[in-house]
Amino acid sequence: MTLRALELFSGIGGFAAAVAELDVRVMGALDQDPAALESYRLNFPDHPTRRVDLERVSAWELIAPAAELWWLSPPCQPYCERGARRDLDDHRAGSIMHLMELLSRIPGAALPRHLALENVVGFVGSQAHGRLVELLAGRGYQLRERLLCPTQLGIPSRRPRFYLTASLSPLAPEKPASPRSLSPLAEYLDPMLTEGALEELFLPDEIISRFGAALPILEPDDPLSVTTCFTSGYGRSLTNAGSYLRCGSRVRRFSPEEIIRLLHFSPAFRFPPGMTLRRRWGLAGNSLSVVAVREVLAAFPEF
């Protein structure tokens, strides 16, 4: 039986990619970023999309699709280690606060049967986290929380995230995690780029001379190479935004398409023609690990 889902803060479609081969029908994908929605529509043309400010979305807009599962990936900046961690005092927390307020008063019969949320590890223990857990438990949801990194699933890329699953039905029994060996980083790389095909990716020699010791530079053929977490600031910030790759005597950034591969989007995924390199980096850095989403969805009996 097909499960109807609503994708909130949809971005470029990490959730859509995760359920692409499952019996799930996405009833709506909501986001306020036009570039993210343009990418989403290009890759998932059959999914209804809407540009919506989720700080102002109405209860009716959420319940009208009659979705049985809501997926939420609200802004992470209020809880990031690199930020001020202002939690609910950060204006970017307004959307999750508004959604919690709507969830508190939506009639029980109209609540989604399942709800799942992804955010940075710093979300755990925040005021937003505490309020959400209290709200969902009070509305009758069974909850499960976990921290998960793609490296635990054999992906050579660190992206630790907090995941919450909530259901008005019993959750599936938890399965013990089985250790998985890491895939080689080289499998995710574009061989043409290692030959300097896209000069824009290469760092100037003076940057390497000045900051090289502070940069996480990986060897492409090292079986132990694991990327640090790519953020939306990759390409703007030199440090704490993602890894770099040694190519002979030079060093380059990862391409947005390589980052998308590390997130395990389909090989058919494409960014819109003409989109700038920096914009593609930003969208990739804001997205989801597709394999991690699939792992988390297994908490629901339908998966």
49-51 vs 24-31, strand pairing mode: parallel
Contact (Cβ atoms closer than 8 angstroms) between residue 251 and residue 263: no
CB within 8 Å of 47: residues ≥ 6 apart:
7, 13, 16, 26, 28, 29, 40, 41
Structural contact between residues 287 and 14, judged by C-beta atoms closer than 8 angstroms: yes
- Known catalytic residue at 80: no
User: Smallest Cα–Cα separation from 115: which of 173, 168, 48?
Assistant: 168
Q: Encoding tokens for residue 152?
A: 């635990």
* CA geometry: angle 11, 14, 15, nearest 5 deg: 105
Bridge partners (DSSP) listed for residue 164: 117, 145
Measured in degrees and rounded to the nearest 5, phi and psi for residue 199 equal -60, -30
Strands lying side by side in the sheet with 49-51: 49-51, 24-31, 3-8, 69-72, 114-119, 161-167, 142-148
Give the separation between CA 101 and CA 135, rounded to whole angstroms.
9
Query: 76, 80, 149, 229: which is the annotated catalytic residue?
Result: 76
Q: Which residue numbers are catalytic?
A: 76
